[in-house]
Amino acid sequence: MSKSAKLELGEKTIELDIIEGTEGERALDISKLRAETGFITYDNGLGNTGACLSNITFIDGEKGILKHRGYTIENLCEKSSFLEVSYLVVNGKLPSTSELEEFTAAIQKGSKIPEGVKTIIKSFPKDAHPMGITSAAMVALSGFYPEYLNQDLSDQQKKEIIPLMLGQLKTIAAAVYRHGQGKDLIEPNNNLDYVSDFLYMMTGNEPNKEVAKALDVLLILHADHEQNCSASTVRVVGSSKANLFASISSGIDALWGPLHGGANQAVLEMLSEIQKDGGGYEKFIEKAKDKEDPFRLMGFGHRVYKNFDPRAKVIKAYCDVVLDKLNVEDPLLDIAKGLEKTALSDEYFAKRKLFPNVDFYSGIIYKALGIPTNMFTVMFALGRQPGWIAQWKEMIEADGMRITRPRQIYQGKTDEKL
């Protein structure tokens, strides 16, 4: 195949280099298009635009493939912990035993949040949305760690701030939950692993090991997902050389939106709607098939995955474990299981590849753990943070990094007179 493509613009013909990815993706390099022709491209929503070169995550939506640094998500969930995957996406390789011990110790050291941040969290109304509090607490950390506000961090500073961020968000998330429940905050317990400590700070009790393992896997499944809205936001903000606290806070804000991280919350809201109607999910299956009916099944299908969401395949088994171990009796969970079983066996959904996605199962797990619906997106942020950090780190270390500055096509009024 030719390594360039020709573009004819009137009487002028230019050649555009073709960039090939290691997994077969192809892109036209238009970086010099405006300078050479005066033209720019128009791509609403940027769905056809490659905004960066990356080595972190690969997705094949048609085949249902998700890989981090070359490892399939199924392999990572089976063989690795969330902290190992966090180390992988950030540093490009799985840690050795000694590297994991050092990384874990640094996270534990960085898990105690400043008293001032606790005060900020507790100053919010108890019914304030957890994502707003979490975002505010994250950016507030910049006032307590001024040594990491330099425009260009040294390698040593990066090595310090990354585990600090992972430790701080874990404790912030638990503190936000406790505040919303009107309960005192609980200090980290360094004798527990990352996920068990998080659950301990939320509940005050050491969790069941199998339940902690299920949540650990769920965090892995959220670790990174290529150039999604929040990852792109972190890159855009970070490209101005804003500090990492501000960049991650911006990612939290982007994730807050119902079209992004709020999807698992929408699943529970849908289940509640079905319950209020009497709990007959079969009726809603038929409503979902009716093109004239505005009802949509939340948590089924995916914008990127045109086949089964590979993350859903992994978490489904752990979802069953959580429900079994906690012995939860909840009509919403019964409705969810009924929807899942019916949809998976219905030809209408199979033909259209509308299978349950990771948001469907994650919402069920969070509900079973007793986590309020408005905390679901905070849980998502906890899992996604290593991906945000990895995207930020890759960007600031790339040769020729530039501030992100898209163009536009102006279509407003001209030559107005006062």
Secondary structure (3-state) at 292: coil
Asked if 312 and 357 touch (Cβ cutoff 8 Å), the reply is yes
Q: Cα 182 to the chain's mean position, in Å?
A: 28
Secondary structure (3-state) at 94: coil
Q: How far apart are CA 142 and CA 149, in angstroms?
A: 7
Asked if 236 and 153 touch (Cβ cutoff 8 Å), the reply is no
Three-state secondary structure of 356-403: ECHHHHHHHHHHHCCCCHHHHHHHHHHHHHHHHHHHHHHHHHCCCCCC
Token pair for 333: 């969970």
Q: How far apart are CA 98 and CA 150, in angstroms?
A: 29
**Catalytic annotation, pick one of 197, 224, 253, 359:** 359
Q: How far apart are CA 134 and CA 136, in angstroms?
A: 5
Asked if 98 and 66 touch (Cβ cutoff 8 Å), the reply is no
**Catalytic annotation, pick one of 302, 330, 334, 346:** 302
Asked if 305 and 357 touch (Cβ cutoff 8 Å), the reply is yes
H-helix or E-strand containing 14?
A: strand 12-20
Asked if 119 and 129 touch (Cβ cutoff 8 Å), the reply is no
Q: How far apart are CA 333 and CA 250, in angstroms?
A: 33
H-helix or E-strand containing 318?
A: helix 310-326
Which residue do the tokens 């105690």 mark?
112
Look up 260 and say whether it is catalytic: no
The amino acid that residue 120 corresponds to is: I
Q: How many residues does the chain have?
A: 418
Which residue do the tokens 């995916």 mark?
302
Closest CA to 263 of 230, 215, 240, 234: 230
Look up 222 and say whether it is catalytic: no
Asked if 391 and 271 touch (Cβ cutoff 8 Å), the reply is no
Q: Which residues are catalytic?
A: 302, 359
